């Protein structure tokens, strides 16, 4: 792992800067990415036009510029993760209603946590083990560069989050000795075209979605909890848990999936600029939706 040290050492030094200075750097990065680099600008504008067909060009441009500011904040805050203390993480990431998790813990229930790429989703995963009584696990897609991947894992696991490889999801969860664990799943990732098994309505489009949350929650009898995230101020976030079900096996097919996708859309519509518009979420939408 020593070969990665020269790459991460400068980031470590930058992370020691005060957050106010890092956010100042983010302002410059946002301007550069939007006006000069034009980073994935066609994707961002295209997604916004698909999601909000009623918006005029001025509204789309305004939201896009705000999104690039948010994206730059994500970048510098991710760098800050390498040196962020537990105390500071607790100050910057708060959970409004921990009693939901406390009750589920007392009942010995495992939990499926669902959220999207809204606000600082990286800090949410890293900091959540500090906020709830359950042991928290999350999927990790190994990188081709093993050294780089290990460094990223170390950063994400700083506050007791435990990662497991994506291709080992089912065997890991089914054999995990921690029966009342909490598992993080993202609600807005797009499945590969050959693996599409179900589509649901997302911003008015028939959108392919993963069924892992529904299938695993029913198979393992896990409660499903959706996490809303909101930026209180720059670098400070508030989380709110909403119980989708604690009896997943009793719900009709696809109700869990349809519900958590609908809740995510509601969350995005409240703060559109804070979702990850730079990923091609609708690349496999059905033809009749444009």
Q: Write out the chain's pLDDT in tens, 290 residues.
A: 555 667 678 888 999 999 999 999 999 999 999 999 999 999 999 999 999 999 999 999 999 999 999 999 999 999 999 999 999 999 999 999 999 999 999 999 999 999 999 999 999 999 999 999 999 999 988 777 777 778 888 889 999 999 999 889 999 999 999 999 999 999 898 998 999 999 999 999 999 999 999 999 999 999 999 999 999 999 999 999 999 999 999 999 999 999 999 999 999 999 999 999 999 999 988 755 44
- Residue 136: predicted pLDDT: 98
Beta bridge partners of 223: 111
d(CA 13, CA 246): 45
- Residue 5: predicted pLDDT: 64
- Residue 143: predicted pLDDT: 72
- Residue 290: predicted pLDDT: 44
> Would you say 92 and 122 are in contact if contact means Cβ atoms under 8 Å apart?
no
- Residue 2: predicted pLDDT: 55
Instruction: Please spell the DSSP secondary structure of the chain, one letter per residue.
Output: -GGGHHHHHHHHHHHTS-HHHHHHHHHHHHHIIIIII-TTHHHHHHHHHHH-TT--HHHHHHHHHHHHHHHHHHHHHHHHTTT--HHHHHHHEEES-THHHHHHHHTT--EEEEE-SBS-HHHHHHHGGGTSSS-EEEEE---SSHHHHHHHHHHHTTTS-EEEEGGGHHHHHHH-S-TT-EEEEESSPPPPGGG---EEEETTEEEE---HHHHHHHHHT-EEEEEEEEEEETTEEEEEEEEEES-GGGSPTTHHHHHHHHHHHHHHHHSGGGB-TTS-TTTT--GGG-
Q: pTM of this prediction? A: 0.94
């Amino acid at each position: 792992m020593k070969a990665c040290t020269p790459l991460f050492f400068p980031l470590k030094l930058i992370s020691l800067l005060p957050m106010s200075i890092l956010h100042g750097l983010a302002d410059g990065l946002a301007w550069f990415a939007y006006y000069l680099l034009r980073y994935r600008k066609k994707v961002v504008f295209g997604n916004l036009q698909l999601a909000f067909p009623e918006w005029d060009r001025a509204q789309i441009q305004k939201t896009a510029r705000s999104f690039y500011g948010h994206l730059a904040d994500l970048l510098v805050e991710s760098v800050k993760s390498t040196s962020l203390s537990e105390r500071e993480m607790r100050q910057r990431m708060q959970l409004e209603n921990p009693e939901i998790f406390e009750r589920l813990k007392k009942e010995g229930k495992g939990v499926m946590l669902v959220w999207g790429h809204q606000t600082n989703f990286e800090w949410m995963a890293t900091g959540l083990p500090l906020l709830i009584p359950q042991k928290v696990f999350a999927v990790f897609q190994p990188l081709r560069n093993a050294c780089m991947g290990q460094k990223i894992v170390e950063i994400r696991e700083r506050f007791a989050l435990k990662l497991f490889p994506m291709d080992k999801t089912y065997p890991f969860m089914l054999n995990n000795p921690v029966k009342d664990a909490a598992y993080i799943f993202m609600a807005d990732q797009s499945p590969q075209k050959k693996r599409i098994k179900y589509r649901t309505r997302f911003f008015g489009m028939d959108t392919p979605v993963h069924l892992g949350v529904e299938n695993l929650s029913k198979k393992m009898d896990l409660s499903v909890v959706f996490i809303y995230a909101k930026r209180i101020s720059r670098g400070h976030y508030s989380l709110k848990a909403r119980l989708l079900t604690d009896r997943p096996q009793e719900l009709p097919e696809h109700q869990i999936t349809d519900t958590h996708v609908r809740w995510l859309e509601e969350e995005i519509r409240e703060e559109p600029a804070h979702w990850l518009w730079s990923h091609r979420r609708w690349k496999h939408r059905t033809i009749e939706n444009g």
